[in-house]
Amino acid sequence: MRIARFRYDEQIRFGIVDGAELVVLAADPLFAGFDTTGERVALADVALVAPVIPRSKVVAIARNYTDHAAELGNEVPAEPMMFFKPNTSVIGPGDAIVIPPQSQRVDFEGELAVVIGRVARNVRAEDADDYIFGFTIANDVTARDLQRKDGQWARAKGFDSFCPLGPAIETEFDPKPDVRIVTRVNGEVKQDGPIGDMVFSMAEQIEWASAAFTLLPGDVILTGTPVGVGPIVAGDVVEVEIDGLGILRNTVRDA
């Protein structure tokens, strides 16, 4: 089931994608289930927005692909390396990534994102699937120069617009190892790697994160990026594609 969050008739609503239409849901399915209103609207008549705005946090896993860690001169950590992105960094498909004046080097990082479906605390890896609502696509946009300058990553990872999500949440996505993350900038492929190359699996990430802090419904985990990250500048168009989840497309502009 593909769940979209969309703007229509000056309201933000939720719907189930059914071909070229949306079956309108009565409320946020994370909290109210899948009751429908009986309405249908054409996808062509709506504007998709970020499929979820985490009420609590975006948890991101760093250096979770060996080749990506190496391309930035880092070693793979012995344990999952986590950081936060604020929910104010979230934007949706079609929204602009804004280059802040504080940075001279902003990078794309295409990723698979996990949306948490229920309260999760001290979850065992073997039970992790029970806590997943679905999957979407993310771009962990990073001010690379500030990341290196600051030492800690809150500013470099947390600017407004630095967490594009979308285009929708797929509740039945099968994250097989050969599923690929492909990132393009202006149509040119920059990243193309299988999610099976993750160092720490999604189940291990959920176990590790939930042992440190409670995960809440709507929280998002960014699972790491494959090799090939690089800079973006104003005027660029960035696309992150994952087979089965679609394409997350964003423009880039200066502040």
Bridge-based pairing state of the strands 11-18 and 2-8: antiparallel
d(CA 197, CA 151): 27
Neighbouring C-beta atoms of residue 94, cutoff 10 Å: 15
pLDDT of residue 194: 97
How sure is the predictor about 229, in pLDDT bands with cuts at 50, 70 and 90? very high
* Residue range 223-243: mean pLDDT, rounded: 98
Residue whose pair of structure tokens reads 């986590």 in the numeric block? 82
CA nearest to 248, candidates 101, 156, 154, 135: 135
Round the average pLDDT of the chain to a whole number and report it.
97
pLDDT of residue 74: 84
Percent of residues, the chain, with pLDDT higher than 90: 96
pLDDT of 72 strictly over 90: no
pLDDT of residue 226: 97
Neighbouring C-beta atoms of residue 232, cutoff 10 Å: 22
pLDDT of 76 strictly over 90: no
Say if domain 2-48 classifies as CATH 2.40.440.10: no
pLDDT of 56 strictly over 90: yes
* Residue range 114-138: mean pLDDT, rounded: 98
pLDDT of 70 strictly over 90: no
Question: Same fold for the domain at 2-48 and the one at 58-254?
Answer: no
Measure CA 115 to chain center: 9
Q: Where are the domains of the chain?
A: 2-48, 58-254
* Three-class SS of 90-114: EECCCCEEEECCCCCCEEECEEEEE
* Residue range 247-254: mean pLDDT, rounded: 98
* Residue range 105-128: mean pLDDT, rounded: 98
How sure is the predictor about 149, in pLDDT bands with cuts at 50, 70 and 90? very high
Spelled out in words, what is the top-level CATH class assigned to the domain 58-254? alpha beta
Residue whose pair of structure tokens reads 């992790």 in the numeric block? 128
pLDDT of 242 strictly over 90: yes
pLDDT digits (tens, 9 = 90+) for 156-173: 999 999 999 999 999 999
pLDDT of residue 75: 86
